[in-house]
């Protein structure tokens, strides 16, 4: 071995050992940000495999690096007192010590990964409580008493309702309606005029809401209605439809795909009942939506006789209505953004893209502590394919890309149809959450209004700054959620992890430079114990308790490490540089 070759080999081994064993995640992330390797940011990090840096003659040891390290170290110490040149002995010893350090690093990673998996298993088994007590009836429209209209969109009207079999639920934390909120704020001179509202005390009388879809062109048979409006059934519960009908009717949504059902989550609406019935003449129908009524109710109406009805929990207001009369505190705003991210991540993990996320499609109530709880609703535009890929073939302009063009992610808005073209929706809803964050923190959505930015053409430097009171961590999350390139954009899971760590993991983050993931794993164990001690009863149903359970039930070592890296880098660089990430 020549001297030049020995030196180069020693340097290469030293570099590998240093990068794999000594460098902290923040340093690696900073290097990625400063160089061209930033192109891959936002992708889940891959676990380093020993075989990528071992010499060829040692690769048969890759299954057990610990055994390799022991053998090499033993041979290295024997060579110290044996024959061979000092150069060769030094190179061999450096390699053996490096193998031992790498094994220790990988062993720590395995322990941290095992800890995350055990915590995740504990909290995955715990089911979130139902928003209302279960009931066995309610599969006919005649079972319900319908009150006033409380909402109207482009394809449905929503009415407050109740049913004798449902009973009056304990809804003390929901009795702060939007009218009461406006009255409270108007005493301080803060309430605007003209905001829609829910009648005072009506939530106690009408704990349910029924959504009547408008049926134009779908036919009047139950089978045709369910096939045409099948996306609305994505958040339906297991008992939402009669079992015999659910088994007989093969529901098929758009693009020839069978829609799936999303499991229960505190930040996703739950459809309690779904059935078809004749369209009734409800209050305000002749004035609000005469054109969609059937001819038996309006001689010039275009609607069919039957349509789909969805029964859900009644919520005081939408997020848009709430933000018209109130500006949340900085902490409440962070919790609200985090709830949207948790809801989007839950949908994404089950292969569902909402594709119409906006403040009008988010409902709001208050927990026992007065904190807003957000629920994503209105799945009429969702993508729920059987393969869970969130990839949509875009071979024609007739393919539906989703609703709400203003908050359509850049990769969706700029897609050009053609053979073999697909649209990836895996991070499209996360981009919409970044835009809605401006509304939550009291600013105009930059993609709304006359002077709005266009998601097809905007530059990231054009994005306005959030208020100064908003934390640097939130600045970082919003900036990275609104990246034009989806490969550089945060996923909803990593963004949620960043906010969870920012809100509750400050002590663990403060020790990252000295103790690494081991300290974080210890904090996760303590956090798990606290959440379990708090319980899953009424005392554990606050917004913060639900968010902590969501975080712990979705633990993944690589996603968590990436979130820590982003956080540490953002704090190291400061807000000034975050604005231009």
Catalytic residues: 356
Q: Are 112 and 555 in contact (CB under 8 A)?
A: no
Neighbours of 185 (CB within 10 A): 14
Phi, psi torsion values for 74, nearest 5 degrees? -65, -45
Contacts of 474 (CB under 8 A, 6+ apart): 333, 334, 337, 437, 441, 466, 499, 502
Contacts of 44 (CB under 8 A, 6+ apart): 558, 559, 562
Q: Are 373 and 343 in contact (CB under 8 A)?
A: no
**Cα–Cα distance, 206 to 2 (Å, whole number):** 86
Phi, psi torsion values for 256, nearest 5 degrees? 70, 15
Residue of 332, 323, 352 lying closest to 492 (CA atoms): 352
CA atoms 313, 317, 318, 322: torsion sign:
negative
**Cα–Cα distance, 14 to 12 (Å, whole number):** 5
**Cα–Cα distance, 18 to 13 (Å, whole number):** 9
Side-chain half-sphere of 485: how many Cα atoms within 13 Å? 9
355, two tokens: 């594709």
364, two tokens: 């709001």
Rounded (10°) CA dihedral 233, 236, 238, 239: -100
**Cα–Cα distance, 214 to 355 (Å, whole number):** 20
Reduced to 3 states (helix: H, G, I; strand: E, B; else coil), residue 25 is helix
- The stretches of 254-380 forming alpha helices (DSSP H) are 285-288, 319-325, 330-349
- The stretches of 416-556 forming alpha helices (DSSP H) are 428-440, 472-481, 492-504, 506-510, 512-515, 517-534, 543-553
Residue of 117, 121, 75 lying closest to 100 (CA atoms): 75
Side-chain half-sphere of 113: how many Cα atoms within 13 Å? 9
**Cα–Cα distance, 66 to 103 (Å, whole number):** 6
**Cα–Cα distance, 287 to 297 (Å, whole number):** 12
H or E element at residue 173: none
485, two tokens: 């390139």
Q: Are 286 and 248 in contact (CB under 8 A)?
A: no
Q: Are 17 and 102 in contact (CB under 8 A)?
A: yes
**Cα–Cα distance, 385 to 226 (Å, whole number):** 16
* Cβ-based burial of 518 (10 A; exposed 0-12, middle 13-18, buried ≥19): middle
* Cβ-based burial of 58 (10 A; exposed 0-12, middle 13-18, buried ≥19): middle
Largest CA distance in the chain: 105
């Amino acid at each position: 071995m020549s001297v030049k070759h020995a030196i180069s080999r020693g340097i290469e081994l030293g570099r590998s050992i240093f990068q794999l064993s000594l460098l902290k995640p923040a340093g690696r992330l900073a290097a990625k940000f400063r160089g061209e390797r930033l192109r891959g940011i936002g992708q889940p990090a891959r676990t380093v495999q020993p075989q990528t840096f071992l010499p060829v003659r040692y690769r048969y040891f890759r299954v057990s690096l610990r055994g390799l390290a022991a053998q090499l170290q033993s041979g290295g110490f024997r060579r110290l007192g044996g024959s061979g040149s000092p150069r060769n002995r030094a190179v061999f010893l450096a390699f053996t010590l490096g193998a031992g350090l790498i094994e220790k690093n990988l062993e720590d990673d395995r322990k941290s990964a095992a800890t995350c998996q055990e915590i995740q298993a504990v909290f995955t088994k715990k089911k979130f409580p139902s928003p209302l007590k279960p009931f066995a009836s309610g599969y006919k429209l005649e079972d319900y008493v319908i009150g006033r209209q409380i909402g109207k969109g482009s394809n449905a009207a929503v009415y407050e309702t109740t049913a004798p079999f449902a009973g009056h639920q304990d809804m003390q934390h929901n009795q702060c309606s939007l009218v009461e909120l406006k009255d409270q704020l108007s005493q301080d001179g803060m309430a605007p005029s003209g905001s829609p509202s829910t009648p005072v005390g009506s939530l106690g009388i009408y704990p349910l809401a029924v959504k009547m879809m408008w049926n134009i062109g779908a036919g009047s048979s139950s089978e045709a209605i369910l096939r045409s409006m099948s996306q609305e059934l994505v958040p339906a519960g297991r008992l939402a439809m009669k079992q015999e009908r659910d088994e007989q009717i093969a529901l098929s949504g758009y693009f020839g795909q069978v829609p799936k059902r999303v499991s229960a989550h505190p930040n996703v609406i739950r459809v309690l009942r779904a059935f078809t019935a004749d369209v009734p003449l409800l209050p305000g129908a002749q004035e609000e939506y005469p054109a969609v009524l059937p001819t038996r109710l309006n001689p010039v109406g275009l609607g069919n006789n039957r349509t789909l009805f969805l029964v859900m929990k009644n919520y005081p207001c939408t997020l848009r209505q709430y933000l018209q009369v109130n500006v949340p505190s900085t902490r409440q705003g962070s919790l609200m953004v985090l709830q949207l991210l948790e809801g989007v991540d839950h949908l994404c993990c089950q292969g569902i893209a909402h594709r119409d996320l906006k403040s009008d499609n988010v409902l709001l109530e208050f927990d026992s502590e007065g904190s807003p709880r957000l629920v994503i609703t209105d799945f009429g535009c969702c993508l729920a394919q059987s393969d869970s890929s969130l990839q949509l073939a875009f071979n024609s302009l007739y393919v539906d890309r989703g609703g709400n063009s203003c908050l359509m992610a850049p990769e969706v808005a700029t897609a050009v149809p053609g053979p073999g073209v697909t649209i990836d929706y895996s991070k499209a809803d996360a981009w919409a959450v970044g835009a809605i964050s401006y509304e939550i923190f009291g600013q105009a959505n930059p993609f709304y209004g006359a002077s709005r930015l266009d998601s097809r053409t905007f530059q990231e430097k054009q994005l306005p700054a959030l208020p100064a009171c908003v934390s640097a961590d939130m600045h970082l999350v919003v900036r990275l959620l609104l990246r034009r390139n989806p490969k550089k954009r945060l996923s909803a899971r990593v963004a949620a992890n960043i906010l969870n760590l920012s809100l509750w993991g400050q002590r663990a983050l403060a020790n990252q430079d000295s103790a690494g993931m081991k300290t974080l794993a210890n904090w996760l164990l303590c956090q798990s114990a606290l959440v379990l001690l708090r319980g899953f009863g009424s005392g554990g149903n606050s917004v913060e308790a639900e968010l902590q359970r969501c975080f712990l039930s979705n633990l993944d070592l690589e996603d968590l490490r990436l979130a820590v890296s982003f956080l540490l880098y953002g704090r190291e660089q400061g807000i000034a540089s975050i604005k231009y990430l």
